[in-house]
A and B are shown apart, each in its own frame.
Chain A
C-alpha cells in the first residue's frame, strides 16, 4: 500500500488526520511546524511527538519531501532543479538569485495543455497536475530554501488550470503555520482563464501576472489558443473590477517578437486597452525554441518599446534573461527528454 504524504497538507487537513488517528488535537500544529519550519527527513525526527504518535503516523504516512534528481548551474548564478513527481514524471524549478532577492520559479503541472506557440513546455503535451505538496516541495527542497525571498508561479504548466492545488500551496506558503511568507512576495502568472481567475482573486492575496503578448485579438489567437475561449478583453474587464496598484499588483508579461508585436501600433493599442488599470508591463526577450517561426525583437527595439510605453504612463520594465545557458529562462522549461528515457 502506498502511504500518503504529510508534506503538502494544510493545518485543517492535518487536524482531520490527527482526529482520524485519535491523536491529541495539538499534534496537528506540531506536525505542520516540523513540516514547514524545520528541516527533517523522517517522521521519527518529530521529537516532540510521543513515540506512539510517531509509530501511528508512520503506519499510514510518509514525510513526503522529495530531493531533487539533478541540479544545473548557470554562469549567471541561476540554478535549475529537476524533481520527480509522484506520478513518476519530471518537473523543473528555477532558482534565480539577484542581490538580496532570491526568487524561485515553481511549476504547477507536468507539461501544459495551453499550446502557446512560443513555449517549450507546451511541446511536451500534458502529463498531469502537481499536488500542493509537489509545488511547495520545489521551494522547500532546494539547497537555498532558507534564503528564498520571492516565489513566482511561472514554471511549467498553467497555474489556473490546477487552481485547487495552487490555492492550497499558496495557503501553505503564506500561513503562520506554514512557511509564513507574505503574499506580497508571491506572483501567480496566468494566460487568463477567466472563471479560475475570479476564484484566484477572491481566495488569494498574491500578486497577479497575466501573459498578454499582443493587444490584438487575431494576433493573440495565433500565439495563444486560449484567446479563442477566454479573450483578453474579458480578462481585463475582470481585472478592472479589482483594486490593484496598492498592496496587490497586477503586471502584464509581454514577450517581444520581431515584426509581430513590437510596432508603434502595438504601443498605441496597449496604452488603449490598459488605460485605467494600475499595472506594469514586463517586456521579455524571446528565447527561441526548436521549430518556431518566431524571432526575438532586437535589444534596441525592446528598449525603445519600453521608453514609449513609459512615456504613455505605463510603468514598463525589461526582464533580465536569466539561466538561458541551462534552458532555465522564460519559456524554455521542458522535461520531454527525461520522460522519453
Chain B
C-alpha cells in the first residue's frame, strides 16, 4: 500500500480554508484509520479530523496555527510497519473510535458531511450504501439534476428507463414528473436509503453562463447564511400579523424625548416595543423558551435581541435582563448597543444569550416582513413601517399612525392561540400606553 496523503477537508459549503489548531500525533507515531489525527478550526466548525488510513505519520506538512486552503495536503501517512489499512472491521472492534465524519460542535450545521474526503477515498468500497444512495439506475447528468431538483429518487423510476440498457432519459423523468411523481417519502425506500440522515437538498449549481464576478463571502455573511438556513430547517415557522394604532404612542414619545435627552438617551419607538414585548412575555413565558430535545427550556431572564444593520450584514446585539429595566434603561441599552454595533465595538458577550428578538423590516418603508427565528429562540417580532392611514374609530374615519407587527413563532412549542394572545397583549399595551 502506498503512502496516503491527508488533506484539509471541506467542513461545509462556502468554507475554503481551515486552520490546524492541534496535531494529535507526531511524526513517527502510529495511527489507526479513523483515529483522530488533528484538530481544525474553520469559520464555522471546530473539529477533530480522523486519519484516512492506518500507518505511520511520515510527514506533517502544516504547522499548528497555520491556515491552508481546503484540499491542501497537510500530512502523509506511510504504511511503514503498520497493519495494512484494510485490517477488517477496525471501526466495529473499537467502539470508541468515531467512524463517521468528524464531529461538529452542537448548534452549528456542519454542511455536507463529507468531512474527510481523503478518508472516503481510502475507505473500503461499500457498494450497497453508495449505489443505493444514488440509485442503481443508469441515467445522465441532466436526469440526475432534474431528479434532485424535484426531490425524486431515481430508484422510483426503476424499470421505467427507455434509453439504451434501460437508461433513464430526460423524456422518462419529465413524463414521470408530468404524471405526478409520488412524494419521495411514500416511495418504497431501498434498504440502503435508511442510514441517510435527512439533509437539506444540495443547492442548485451555479449555472449562469454570462460574465460574473465571484466574491468570497465574509465570515459574517457565511454565518448569516448558515444561521438562516439552519433555522428554516429547525423550526416550524408560522407568522401572525397584528395592526397597531401607535398615534398616542408617538405623542408620548415626543413628550418624553426632551426628558430622555437630558439623560443622554435618544428615544426611538423601539424601546416601547421592547418593553411591551417583555411585559407580554411575562404573561406568556413560552415565547421566551427553547426546545432542547424532548424538553422545553423556559428562560428566567428576558434578553431581547435587536437586529441592527451594519455595513457587512446584520448583527443582533442583546439587551440583557430587559425585564429588570424601565423604558429609560431599555432605551439606553439599545442606544449603546446600536452605536457599538456600527463602530464594530461589540463584545462576544453582547450578542450572546438572547431569548427573544425584535427586527425592523419596516426600516426602509416596508409594510411588514416574515422574519426568520433566531435559533435557538422560538419567536421573533417584526416591526413594519409606521404610516398614517385612514382608520375607522367608532364608525368615523380618522387619520391614525399605524404599524403592522408580525410574530414568527416556532409551532413546535407555540400554538397559534398563545402567539396571538401574546401579540394581542403587545397591541393592547402599545395602544394604551400609560406614562
Do A and B share a complex?
no
Chain A residues with CB under 8 Å of chain B are: none
